[in-house]
Amino acid sequence: MRGVIVMTIIGIIAALTMAVANNLTQGPIAAAKGRTKYEALQEIFPFKIASVKDSESNGVVFFEVSGTKGESASALELGTTQGYAGLIEVLIGFDADCNILDYKVVTHSETPGLGDKITQDDFRAQFRGKGLKNFDWRVNKDGGDVDAVTAATISSRAISGALERGLKLFAEKYPNKCAGSKKE
Amino acid sequence: MTLWQEFSKGIVRENPVLKILLGFCPTLAVTTLVINALGMGAATTFVLVSSNLAIALVARFIPENVRIPCYIVIIATFVTVVELLIQAFSPALNAALGIYIPLIVVNCIILGRAEAFASKNPVLPSILDGLGMGLGFTFALVILASIREIFGNGTWLGFNVIGIEGFSPILFFALPPGAFLGLGLLIALVSAYQRKR
């Protein structure tokens, strides 16, 4: 009987502690998440971002970004993609012709020094200005145009697959803007 | 034992990883980069000190037969607090450590110290024991992560330390087998050193 009472008291104190901690950190956690997204978008677009509007459909978040000097651009964030070591989340920025401007890997757990090269500029550079029409989105090992990271074909496939999916979703969302950029 | 000995025993003599051989899961998993090792070490040290403190305070009210569930609830509470704090103030570390933060709950070092030390000792020695064990854990993680990051990635704490032109990192060290080999070598070194004395 004493055991039940002691455990109940400990449980109540533990629950109260966690409730207080949750309450205190809720704001900072939401702010940190927003900031990460904003910083990621700022890394993709060359102009200074003034405001971001986001809308979600089927797990994909679309961003309408406007710059301080009236620039505007779009981006989208895919739900998770299976990588080599876990799930990858990618934020993709598009240029005015609905091609890839740049992308940013928001979360990943690929092997350090190997699969994590997908986040680096050397690897990202090959996708800039590429769309559904002017690029074969398979890795070179599979007969495509993507120059895969050495010894990290699975990570490279995950990224090129995600980018291709992003391009298709973007073209579906903005059929007028992207007319003519769809693959025949 | 003096208070100083309660604190210092965890660092080398009774190092939780290298001597008592506990807590291998986080040790092997997060030591790809030194920064992750430091983050995991700090989080575990915080949990160790707080849970040792709380358990030393309440141990005499807890009946023998329900002590383990009570300790686990106390430990899980502190781990949840740490997890929320890391999410709020260091999202990058949260992304790097991922599932290994909530898994601190089942790190045997923490329950081990609660059962073997904090439940039988007063508050102050328990805090020092937690702090020493936490630092010993951090020390072991940082040493292993240094080996793995330098050889496997060519960097230390993110700085490029190998100045040789055309150095190609030994990927083996960045991958899980490198963790096992590195940890085995470290344990062997510590044992050899102690035998010599």
- 0.90 surpassed by complex ipTM: no
Which segment of B86-95, B99-108, B162-171 scores lowest on mean pLDDT? B162-171
The three-point CA angle A55-A60-A62 to 5° equals 40
- Residue from the list B66, B74, B153 with its beta carbon closest to the beta carbon of A3: B66
- Residue from the list A7, A107, A112 with its beta carbon closest to the beta carbon of B33: A112
| Cα(B197)–Cα(B106) distance, integer angstroms | 34
Nearest CA in chain B to A152: B171
Type of residue found at B47: V
Min CA distance, A22 vs chain B (Å)? 7
Q: Do the Cβ atoms of B55 and B71 come closer than 8 Å?
A: yes
Tokens 């979600």 locate to A56
Contact B73 A33 (CB under 8 A): no
**Average pLDDT, integer, range A163-168:** 92
Of the two residues A172 and B52, the one the predictor is more confident about is: B52
Tokens 């035998």 locate to B195
Half-sphere exposure of A114 (CA within 13 A, CB side): 22
pLDDT digit string, tens, across residues B19-78: 999 999 999 989 988 999 999 999 999 999 999 999 999 999 999 999 999 999 999 999
CA B88 to chain centre: 22
Structure tokens at A177: 């803007």
Of the two residues B99 and B149, the one the predictor is more confident about is: B149
Q: What percent of chain B has pLDDT above 90?
A: 72
pLDDT digit string, tens, across residues A80-125: 889 888 889 899 999 888 899 999 998 887 876 778 889 888 899 9
Reply yes or no on whether the pLDDT at A179 is more than 70. Answer: no
pLDDT digit string, tens, across residues A32-88: 888 888 888 998 998 888 888 888 887 788 998 888 888 888 899 887 889 888 889
Q: Do the Cβ atoms of B37 and B138 come closer than 8 Å?
A: yes
**Average pLDDT, integer, range B106-126:** 95
What was the pLDDT predicted at A109? 78
| Cα(A65)–Cα(A84) distance, integer angstroms | 31
Q: Do the Cβ atoms of A156 and A137 come closer than 8 Å?
A: no
Is residue A105 helix, strand or coil? Answer: strand
Contact A28 B171 (CB under 8 A): no
DSSP state of B23: -
| Cα(B51)–Cα(B61) distance, integer angstroms | 16
What was the pLDDT predicted at B116? 94
| Cα(B44)–Cα(A128) distance, integer angstroms | 42
* Per-residue confidence band for A180, with pLDDT thresholds at 50, 70 and 90: low
Residue ranges per structural domain of chain A = 42-173
Q: What is the pTM of this model?
A: 0.80
Instruction: Tell me which chain A residues have a C-beta less than 8 angstroms from the C-beta of B74.
Output: 10, 14
In a mutagenesis test of the B interface, which of A8, A29, A84, A119 is the best target, namely the one with the most B β-carbons within 10 Å? A29
| Cα(A71)–Cα(A65) distance, integer angstroms | 8
Average pLDDT, chain B: 91
Reply yes or no on whether the pLDDT at A184 is more than 50. Answer: no
What was the pLDDT predicted at A182? 45
